[in-house]
Structure formats: structure tokens, C-alpha cells
Amino acid sequence: MRIGILTSGGDCAGLNAVILAVVRRAVLGYGWDVVGIRQGTHGLLQRPPAVVPLNDYVNNDGMLRLGGTILGTINKGNPFHYPMPDGSFTDRSDEVIAGYEALGLDALIGIGGDGSMAILRELAQKGGINLVGIPKTIDNDLAHTEYSVGFTTAVNVAVDALDRLQPTAASHERIMILEVMGRDAGHIALFAGIAGGADVILIPEMDYDLEDMAQHCLNIRKRGRNHALVIVAEAIKTDTGDAVISGHDGQKARYGGVGHWLAEKLGERTGWETRVTVLGHLQRGGTPSPRDRLVASTFGVHAVDLIAQGKFDRVVAWQQRRVVDVPMADVITGPRLVDTGETMVSTAIGLGAYMGTPPK
Ligand code: F6P
């Protein structure tokens, strides 16, 4: 057997740990060959296809700790709607499938988020590719899995940032605002907000009121604390109703990031000095957390075992302390948003944080 593996979409910590787990299980467990495809589906458009033989990586234990992806994940475009230099779009899916066939692979493991998996699945169905998916994204917004690779590292980075912001906030008597990623979802802001003791946690799944939020900060001061910590997910909406997405949609951000917009509004309403930190891609790089290594390793082993059992068109998932697998079609249906009735939201509110209200 000869299997391929690729990473697709935005990178995150733990991708190399997945690759290592796949190689170790495939090589040591089954005696297969593993081929890494470079730059996602883009590598399959090259002639010859751009690949890295991975069997020798079985001894590369540094991979467990290494951020980024050794395979690269440049997103040049959807092969079904591929951007051409003249500004037009063309369907290059047949070329990608031909590249895959040229490699003589029996199966493919795709590590990606919902967008990448949707494209890979379409390719698999068109080209008869035996595909297994592994969920990764710092946003943790994939359906049917409690964890995706990269999420807990991003949370740890955000908590570390709050740990560093708290003493300086206290020294200068300021409101410190930390803007975190998450695309459409507020999982990073919510988890990090609780673990890092934020006084205000703003996520796109909840509605907020600027006056109430300002009053909440003023009440903190009345209670005798001279500083406050605010964590805000990049995709919250402004009071004009526009989404301000400073990460994914950076070029379109109207206020240079929602954190800056919020700082201005909170400062005006409280008379309190505010400062902003936009965490950005720091949340994606660096050494994966132990939890991400664990999830990555478990997912990698299970994905190879699925191939050995001839089970395809499935995605490995984490549910109630177990690794399971679910139909790929179920995972790519759209972002998994924070459930506003869930324990985490009530915990944050129970701790006295301002989170706004669930949308009417
Ligand atoms: O989906 C992962 C993510 O990091 C989002 O949280 C963020 O909105 C986006 O990707 C950033 O994308 P890019 O790397 O293209 O700036």
C-alpha cells in the first residue's frame, strides 16, 4: 500500500504531529509507503507532482514539537474555480486528479478545515479517490468533533497573552483589550476568556450593548479594581451591524481590527485609558500544546486504521474522550458556532464576566 497525505487551508500547531503519527502507524504498523504532497492540492497540479517521501520521517521525533507544516499549505485557489492570471477562473480539477493518479496512491489523508474538506471530497468523488479527513483549525468550528488540531495551542497563546496583559493593566490602571481569531466562531475567545480571567468576553454568537459593557467596567472600578481585561473575537459585529473581521478578511476591516474599534468606544464611554493587542497569527505558530499533540497523534493513528479497514469518505473526530469517525458530508456542512446555552457561557457569566445576551 502507498498512501498520500496533505495539509490544506490555514496552518496551526500540531500539523507535523499528525504527519508523524500517520507515518509511524503506516510504516511501523502496516509496512506501507507514505508520500507527502506539497502545498495541498497545489502540489498535485505540478508536473511531476510535488511530493516528499515520508517513510524516513518515522525517526524524526522532532516533528511532534514542530509548528507549521513541513508540507506547506499555500492556498492558490479552489481547483474547481481556479484563479487565472488574466482574472478569469477555470476548472483544474481534472489536472489535480491526474496528478494524484500519477502518484499511484491507494488512499489519501487530507488534514483540513471545513472548506478544504469540501473541496477534497468533491475531488475524491469525481476522481474515485479513497479519502479520509483529519480536522484541524484553531477556530474549533468543525461539526461533530469537540477538538480540532490546533485549537488548544491557540487558546494557550491567548491565555498567556492575558497573563501578560493583566499586570501591565494593573500597573497603568487601564482597560486592556485582546483581539483573538476564530473566524465566525467565538470558541478561542470564550475558552481563553475564562481561563485568563477576562472581565468582558465578546463572541459573535452573543449580542452586546456598548452602554451595558461600559457600565460593567465602571462597576468593576466602583468595586475597587483599577483595571479590566477584555477579550474580543475578531468576528463580532459593530453597533452599526457590520461584521468587522480583522483576521481572515483583514483587508476589509474598517477600523483596523475590531479591537481598536472597541477600545475607542469603551474609552469614550468610561473615560478609562484603553490599549489594544491584536494577537493575530501568533495563535497559529509555535510549539503545539500537549493536548494538541495528543489529539493529533490519536487522529493520525485512527485515520491510518480507517484506511486499513477500507473505510473512506470519513473524518476522524473527538467525542467524549474517544476518537470516532463520522461521515465527511456531515462535517463540512458549515461552522460549528458556540452554543450560547452551553456550560462555558454560563460559567463565564457566573464568574461575573460581561458576555452580552443571546440573540433574540
Ligand atoms: O481559520 C483559521 C484562521 O486563522 C482564522 O481564525 C482567521 O480568521 C484566518 O484563518 C486568517 O487567515 P489568513 O492566514 O489568511 O490571514
What is the per-residue pLDDT across 43-70, written as a single tens digit (0 to 9) for each? 999 999 999 999 999 999 999 999 999 9
C-alpha 230 chain-centroid distance: 21
CATH 3.40.50.450 placement within the chain? 2-149+288-331
**Site to substitute for ligand 1 among 7, 140, 183, most atoms within 8 A of C-beta:** 183
- pTM for this model (two decimals): 0.96
Ligand 1 neighbourhood includes 248 CB (under 6 angstroms)? yes
Beta carbons of 192 and 162 less than 8 angstroms apart: yes
183 Ramachandran zone, left/alpha/beta (phi>0; psi -120 to 50) = left
Q: What does the pLDDT read at residue 145?
A: 96
Q: Please say whether the dihedral angle defined by the alpha carbons of residues 254, 259, 264 and 265, taken in this order, is positive or negative.
A: positive
Cα dist from 168 to 87, 172, 228, whole Å: 48, 6, 11
Please determine, for residue 254, whether its predicted confidence score (pLDDT) is greater than 80: no
For the question of an ipTM over 0.85, the answer is yes
Atom of ligand 1 nearest to the CA of 247: 8
Does 137 sit in the ligand 1 pocket, CB within 6 Å?
A: yes
In this structure, is the dihedral angle defined by the CA atoms of residues 58, 59, 64 and 65, taken in order, positive or negative?
negative
Annotated catalytic residues are 139
114 in a labelled binding site: yes
**Consecutive H or E run containing 120:** helix 114-127
Of residues 89 and 341, more confidence is placed in 89
How many A from CA of 30 to the centre of ligand 1?
A: 36
When pLDDT is averaged across residues 215-234 and rounded to a whole number, the result is: 97
Edge-to-edge strands, sheet with 322-327: 51-53, 33-37, 2-7, 107-112, 131-135, 314-319, 322-327
The top-level CATH class assigned to 154-285+338-351 is alpha beta
pLDDT tens per residue across span 110-167: 999 999 999 999 999 999 999 999 999 999 999 999 999 999 999 999 999 999 999 9
Judged against a pLDDT cut of 50, whether residue 78 lies above it is answered with yes
Does 96 score more than 70 pLDDT? yes
Amino acid letter, residue 355? M
Per DSSP, the three-state class of 297 is helix
Assign domain 2-149+288-331 one CATH number from 3.40.50.450, 3.40.50.2000, 2.40.30.10, 3.90.1150.140: 3.40.50.450
Q: Whose CA is nearest to atom 10 of ligand 1?
A: 248
